[in-house]
Chain A
Amino acid sequence: MVTYLIRRILIGIPVLLGVTLINFLIINLAPGSPADLYLSPTATPEDVARTETALGLDKPVFVQYLNWLTQLLHGNLGVSFQNREPVTQLIADRIGPTLLLMGTSLVIAYLVAIPIGIFAARRRNTAADYGVVGASFLGISVPHFFLGLAMIYVFALTLGWFPTGGMVTLGRGGGFADRVSHLVLPVVVLATGVAAGMVRYVRSSMIDAFGQDYIRTAKAKGLGASVITNKHALRNALIPVVTVIGIDLSALIGGAIVTEQIFQWPGIGLLTIQSIGARDYAVLMGINLIAAIAVFAANLLTDIAYAVVDPRVAYA
């Protein structure tokens, strides 16, 4: 077990280096020199050359990468092209709202999806089951932006139950109820896709579990249906479910970008869109790296959690 963990983490090191390299290369594909972005359009070629030297851009790409990596290890992600603020600071300012949005969505999605998945599995091939499966297909197929716009149209503009966007009502201090009401619609949008995927996963996982011998044994022992479902089947069914949490994080980050844009939620997603608009590649490189490290860590933790939860996993 311990050897497995150590191996798994050691394997992660080259992967993490690869992530930084790809991230660096993506931004280097951008046409023109980053120095142009620092300077006014009237700058002379000499000004450009001087800035390039100052930024280390005259060195070979590989040296630039190593320099960038060294800075990275010191926790320095560079400064924004746009307003010269440190990228780490910009990200730190925006990460809170995003974590709040994604965290709430993930928790709610799982709280809703797991019971529904169990419910559908127990009533397999009934009208209720077909309803759940149909709804989950809708949920995985609807794009975030369409669902978001439809939500705003119905619940904010037509019914007026919730605000159209933002995190607090400006000028009203923003009490707890105000914050919650701003959170509802974006959370519903973001949680829908995750929950829909999770329902299908839990359902088929439970159906698999119900077919196992130990369930037959439990039934033969005369145990009640709820004990069989909740103790025997669920515990085993949730093991494969653990593995999709890492995948969900990646999807959640993508969904958050669109959702934050639609609801003007002041998080990392909105920062991404703004930085794309301003061609601020320093900020984009930082965001992309942080997001990739988060997904990488989630995948690693998932693997480890899987090994911990399921003793049958071979540590080969």
Chain B
Amino acid sequence: MHKRLEPETGQSSARLMIRRFRRHRLAVVGLVVVVLMVLMAALAPLLAPDDPNRIFDKFESSPSGEHLLGTDSVGRDVLSRLIYGARVSMSVGVGAVVVYVVIGVLLGLLAGYYGGWVDQVLMRITDVFMSFPYFMVILILVSVLGPSLLTIIVVIGALAWPMIGRLVRGSVLSIKGSDYVQAAVALGYRTPRILFRHILPNALSPIVVNATFGVAQAIILESGLSFLGMGVRPPAASWGNMLSEAQSITVLSSQPWIWIPPGLMILLAVLAINFVGDGLRDSMESRSES
């Protein structure tokens, strides 16, 4: 592919990034979907037609004017639960990623900047954490600690940092020798200032991309845990625990309104975030075409 010539010089890199991102149509669509879902989560009390935990007389009733998506096997309005479920997915997605990005960035900066035995020890710890099959160890830890929204966020956050840690370490290694870092060292700046003001801002792109995919990953993890009964506990609504009703053959075969909508919501949320992540990767990395 030959590159289109564009007057890109003289623009800030953020502007350039936004331009590239906007050219990535699916990423823009993904971003719109994500924004809508965040709004849905934030405005759930206004949007939901009913209290998500209110039990109506008619249970397992099919979609009607009264209950647009019908009611579940306890008699709760499926649409209302679907809207409230967005809160769980969004908070786990963002919460878990914030926790592990902070851990990963700190450890990555230390390992990359100090090198030597600090690096060796931190990288071996990273190897240890990377040896555990992700979902299994999270499942076991959550069951040991007692499942709840907070536990899920903390557990995913505490286990998922190695990727970010490695990425940051790699960036630091390549930035550390650059002139501006050498200059900062020569000027006698304190190490934290060098790490956070000079090195970290230049290592940001891969972190942002990885964290975006991480949000999608965390949403899948939460829904999987909730599906298995090891996540958000009923009566609180989460898309994952709404789907777990479909483990009964009757619900699965004759009440599709109970399980298909939450499944589609998970798929839509994860797909949208993955599109955004892909767009960010293409627009932030210098080799923009892949």
Contacts and interface: CB of A to CB of B under 8 A. Distances in A.
Nearest to B146: A31
Given A15-B124, A284-B140, A152 B134 contact: no
A288 B136 contact: yes
Interface in A108-161: 125, 137-138, 140-146, 149-150, 152-153, 157-158
Contacts of A288: 132, 136-137, 140
Contacts of B145: 29
A255 B133 CA distance: 10
A161 to B, nearest CB: 15
A190 interface: no
A118 to B, nearest CB: 16
Given A137-B275, A204-B290, A258 B131 contact: no
A253 B243 CA distance: 21
Contact of A254 (B134, B227, B274): B134
B128 to A, nearest CB: 4
Interface string B126-148: 01111111111101110111100
A142 B267 contact: yes
A207 B290 CA distance: 7
A141 B253 contact: no
B136 A149 contact: no
A152 B266 contact: no
A146 B266 contact: yes
B270 A273 contact: no
Contacts of B97: none
B256 interface: yes
B241 to A, nearest CB: 11
A208 B216 CA distance: 27
Given A18-B128, A204-B290, A153 B252 contact: yes
A164 interface: yes
Given A257-B135, A257-B139, A146 B252 contact: no
A14 interface: yes
A299 B127 CA distance: 9
Contacts of A279: 143
Contacts of B216: 141
Interface stretch (A60-68, A85-93, A226-234, A290-298): A290-298
Nearest to B289: A207
Given A18-B125, A22-B128, A149 B135 contact: no
Nearest to B223: A143
Contacts of B271: 137-138, 141
A208 B287 CA distance: 11
B228 interface: yes
Nearest to B130: A299
Nearest to A247: B130
A313 interface: no
A143 B266 contact: yes
Interface in A151-196: 152-153, 157-158, 164
B246 interface: yes
Nearest to B265: A146
Interface in B131-169: 131-137, 139-141, 143-146
Contact of B144 (A140, A281, A291, A292): A281
B130 A291 contact: no
A157 B248 CA distance: 12
Interface string B11-40: 000000000000000000000000000000
B186 interface: no
Contacts of B143: 276, 279, 284
A106 interface: no
Interface in B213-244: 216, 220, 223-224, 227-228, 230, 240, 243
A15 B130 CA distance: 10
A33 to B, nearest CB: 14
Nearest to B129: A22
A138 B271 CA distance: 7
Given A144-B224, A207-B290, A288-B140, A149 B132 contact: no
Contacts of A237: none
A27 B266 contact: no
A261 interface: yes
A19 interface: yes
Nearest to B244: A145
A254 B135 contact: yes
Interface in B236-289: 240, 243, 246-247, 249, 252-253, 256, 259-260, 263, 266-267, 270-271, 274-275, 278
A105 interface: no
Contacts of B134: 250-251, 254
Given A207-B290, A257-B135, A153 B140 contact: no
A140 B274 contact: yes
18 contacts: A15-B128, A16-B131, A19-B128, A142-B267, A143-B220, A143-B263, A144-B224, A145-B223, A153-B253, A250-B130, A254-B133, A272-B136, A276-B143, A295-B131, A295-B132, A296-B127, A296-B131, A299-B131
Interface of B: 1, 124-125, 127-137, 139-141, 143-146, 216, 220, 223-224, 227-228, 230, 240, 243, 246-247, 249, 252-253, 256, 259-260, 263, 266-267, 270-271, 274-275, 278, 290
Interface of A: 11, 14-16, 18-19, 22-23, 26-27, 29-31, 125, 137-138, 140-146, 149-150, 152-153, 157-158, 164, 204, 207-208, 249-251, 253-255, 257-258, 261-262, 272-273, 276, 279, 281, 284, 287-288, 291-296, 299
